[in-house]
Amino acid sequence: MSKKEWPLWEIFIRSKAGLSHKHVGSLRAADAEMAVENARDVYTRRSEGISIWAVESKDVYASDPTEADSLFEPSDSKVYRHPTFYDVPDGISHM
Amino acid sequence: MSALFEYIIRLGDDSLILGHRMSEWCGHGPILEEDIAMTNIALDLVGQATSLLNYAGQVEGNGRDGDKLAFLRYDREYKNTLLVEQPNGDFGTTIMRQFLFDAYRKPLFEKLQNSSDKQLSAIAEKSLKETKYHLKHSSEWVIRLGDGTEESHQRIQEALNTLWRYSSELFYTDEVDATLLSQGIITDIAEIRAEWEVTVKNVFEEATLQIPSNNWKQEGGRKGMHSENMGYILAELQYMQRAYPNMEW
Amino acid sequence: MKDINISELERKFQEKIDKDIKIEPKDWMPDDYRQTLIRQISQHAHSEIVGMLPEGNWITRAPNLRRKAVLLAKVQDEAGHGLYLYSSVETLGANREETIDDLHSGKAKYSSIFNYPTVSWADMGAIGWLVDGAAIMNQVPLCRCSYGPYARAMVRVCKEESFHQRQGFEIMVQLAKGTPVQKEMAQDALNRFWWPSLMMFGPNDAESKHTAQSVKWKIKRHTNDELRQMFVDATVPQAELIGLTIPDKDLKFNEETGHYESGAINWDEFWEVVKGNGPCNKDRVDTRRKAKEDGMWVVEAANAYAAKRAIRKSA
């Protein structure tokens, strides 16, 4: 890391109780505390959140898009995992 | 002039003038994230000034509203402390000025929440939430700069040496305070000062900063006697209202 | 991946674009696409940040407390928008600080509108109304831009900017119905900002070297001239409504097309300002460079403190 620059952090915000934290963007901060405070000022100026997660960008390990075929396509053929795969006789509800 | 009016004016002017100073940073902050943070503080302070000065106008009952009070008084009628009118200097000076002020404002608003004056207690309750955040922000920065690099330590210590002389005025009291104390509207400033001293001592200790041994004090703002800075602040603040009097904007 | 040749990748890429499938940071993309985005998004980010200065100029002189708070909040939003945009640039592998250094060295451009001075309070109205109005015309289609992070940043920016134009127009309305001095101030601001606002959409389509490719890649969804026309059509009736005169003696409404036709834009002025010869180019860039240089010790101190604390924690 350059001395002249703060590390990059990915910011996740929970917009209200009951919802998951959602990625909103990134920012720079020298430490985790500052990352959360900066996120408060940058990403919740209009009451967009009630909880903030900050993760240093270098700690995010991501899947490789060139492997998307082998990672995600096999599940496309497993249609039996979805309820619509099954026939339910008329007159049956709540199933 | 009522003691209550005078007291609210003192609180309101501190917010107004410090908000003015903080707003000078907008667009010039050391890094984008901090620019945004400082503007948030400026916005909180302008908001506090608006509530307080509107209420002062109401207490006075002569038809002056927050804008009339903010923009159309003479310099001697502004009652902010000398501390808040001091120039921004470098980022360290701004942070030190903010820290000395926040450490006083937090216990002050905490006590004022219990004021027998309902309006004042409501304003204090709202402002306290903002001030707690300001204090967290300014203390963390004092510590970072104090215990950061050699250069930052030197700069923030220098800021403390410069601004320390203005800190005692935060606890200035006179007959205004005595009157309101007897009416249960405010509490004894000694309690606020005691808390301020603890905060300041702890933060400076962590920041490895030395409180100046020089006990030279500067006071006057609370009585309307300001530093040379005030004229320039008012020249900008009042520019539109003075140059184009009696117009709606 | 090694087996697939570049033209095959490019074909697949264009296929995704044509099907309106968003491109995400780690997806393969042609180098030109990446470079075009880096250039466009960082210019956009710089425009937000430099754009703070002409309005920031009036914060301490705002005429009342309400206007002061609104202006502070608006300029602060611009800082936020700059940040969202720098954050999208970084997803393309460009480094924010290097991008900013390009601005400071004069290598990178920003919207030339911000090289005009703000000399009266009415300019706060004119900027909100015209400059933000023009910016919105440009930005709304960008919410559907093919690059995911840019499109998402623009959705956020557009949502937040909806109050910016309104607050500017409100200032103009107030001035236009005010005293003769106020009305004159408003007209004067309109006179100065009208033509530079039209120039914000960039050169005519015939002169614009990037447009065709950008439209094909869905980085741009409308041409410069289309957007400019939308802006004129929307703005002229607003000026009439509040009794201000658009400073264009050739402006007329064409009944057949249903569009306004503007007089000729002074493109010599535009190119001079782009080259750096506008009234405020030097001041704006110097101011931003100074802010960064003055803040360098703060950035270093925070890094040093974070490093010390990390050591203490692990000890």
Distance CA B11, CA B123 (A): 11
Give the chain A residue nearest C83 (alpha carbons): A27
The structure tokens listed for C258 are 């249903």
Task: Give the tens place of pLDDT for each residue, B57-112.
Answer: 999 999 999 999 999 999 999 999 999 999 999 999 999 999 999 999 999 999 99
Closest CA to C196 of C82, C302, C115, C306: C115
Q: Decide if pLDDT at C214 tops 60.
A: yes
> With contacts defined as CB-CB under 8 Å, which chain C residues touch B53?
65
Task: Give CA–CA dist B36/B25, Å, rounded.
Answer: 10
Chain B CB within 8 Å of residue A19 CB = no
Interchain proximity B244–C76, CB inside 8 Å: no
Nearest to A42 among B36, B136, B144 (CB): B36
* Furthest CA-CA distance within chain A: 70
- C172 has a pLDDT exceeding 70: yes
- Whether C205 and C225 have beta carbons less than 8 Å apart is answered as yes
C305 contacts in chain A (CB < 8 Å): 30-31
The 10s digit of each residue's pLDDT in C226-254 is 999 999 999 999 999 999 999 999 999 99
Domains of chain B listed by start with CATH number: 3-212+219-243 (1.20.1260.10)
Q: Which of residues A76 and B21 earns the better pLDDT score?
A: B21
The structure tokens listed for C189 are 């601001």
Strands (DSSP E) along B78-211, which ranges?
none
Q: Give A-chain residues touching B145 at CB under 8 angstroms.
A: none
ipTM for the whole complex? 0.97
- DSSP 8-state assignment for residue A7: P
> Beta partners for A26?
A10
Q: List all residues of chain B from 3 to 32 with a beta carbon under 8 Å from chain A.
A: 31-32
Residues in A whose CB is inside 8 Å of some CB of C read: 1-6, 8, 24-28, 30-31, 34, 42, 45-46, 62, 64-66
Distance (Å, rounded) from C-alpha B45 to C-alpha B59? 21
With an 8 Å Cβ cutoff, is C264 touching chain B? no
* pLDDT tens digits along C124-149: 999 999 999 999 999 999 999 999 99
Label residue A16 exposed, middle or buried (CB < 10 Å: 0-12, 13-18, 19+): exposed
Looking at the complex, report in whole angstroms how far the Cα of residue A5 sits from the nearest Cα belonging to chain C: 7
Distance CA(C140)–CA(C155), nearest Å, equals 8
Cβ of B136 and A37 within 8 Å? yes
Q: How confident is the model at residue C77 (pLDDT cuts 50, 70, 90)?
A: very high
CB of B155 closer than 8 Å to CB of B145: yes
Q: What is the pLDDT of residue A2?
A: 47
Neighbours of chain B (3+ CB pairs under 8 A): A, C
**C5 or B212, greater pLDDT:** B212
Task: Determine the Cα–Cα distance for residues A7 and A2; give it in Å rounded to an integer.
Answer: 9
Is residue A11 within 8 A of residue A27, CB to CB? The reply is yes
C-alpha distance from B149 to closest chain A C-alpha (Å) = 12
Closest residue, chain A, to C150 (C-alpha) = A25
Interface test with B, best of C46, C64, C311, C312 (most B CBs within 10 A): C64
Tell me which of B9 and C161 has the higher pLDDT: B9
pLDDT in tens, C274-308: 999 999 999 999 999 999 999 999 999 999 999 99
CB contact under 8 A, A45 and C76: yes
Whether the per-residue pLDDT at B132 is higher than 70: the answer is yes
Is the CB of B136 inside 8 Å of chain A's CB atoms?
Answer: yes
DSSP 8-state class, residue B81: -
Minimum-distance CB partner of C60 among B148, B236, B249: B236
Q: Which residue of B has its CA nearest to C53?
A: B27
| CATH fold of A8-61 | Ubiquitin-like (UB roll) (3.10.20)
CB within 8 Å: A3 and C300? yes
Residue closest to B218 by CA, chosen among B205, B232, B229 = B229
Low-confidence ranges of chain A (pLDDT < 70): 1-3
If DSSP codes are grouped into helix, strand and coil, which group holds residue C23?
strand
User: Residue B240: which of C53, C63, C296 has the nearest Cβ?
Assistant: C63
d(CA C88, CA C70): 27
Residue C3: band (very low, low, confident or very high) from pLDDT cuts 50, 70, 90: low
Check if C65 contacts B (Cβ < 8 Å): yes
Tell me how close the Cα of A84 comes to any Cα of chain B, in angstroms.
49
Which of C295, C304, C308 is nearest residue B29 as measured by Cβ atoms?
C295
Q: Report the residue count for chain B.
A: 249
* Euclidean distance between CA atoms C230 and B69, whole angstroms: 44
Pair type for strands C259-261 and C252-254: antiparallel
Exposure class string for C155-191: b at 16+ Cβ within 10 A, else e: bbbbebbebbbebbbbbbbbbbebeeebbebbbbbbe
Chain C residues with beta carbon closer than 8 angstroms to that of A26: 87, 90
Q: Does B33 touch chain A if contact means CB atoms closer than 8 Å?
A: yes
pLDDT for the residue numbered A1: 42
The yes-or-no verdict on residue C88 having pLDDT over 80 is yes
Say what the pTM is: 0.94
| pLDDT of the residue at A76 | 85
Mean pLDDT to the nearest integer, C253-264: 97
Say what the pLDDT of residue C2 is.
53
Task: For B149-188, write each residue's pLDDT tens digit.
Answer: 999 999 999 999 999 999 999 999 999 999 999 999 999 9
Domain positions in chain A? 8-61
Provide, rounded to the nearest whole percent, the portion of chain B with pLDDT above 70.
Answer: 100
Are B249 and C80 in contact (CB < 8 Å)? no
Contact C225, C201 (CB under 8 A): yes
Q: Do C79 and B43 touch (CB under 8 A)?
A: no
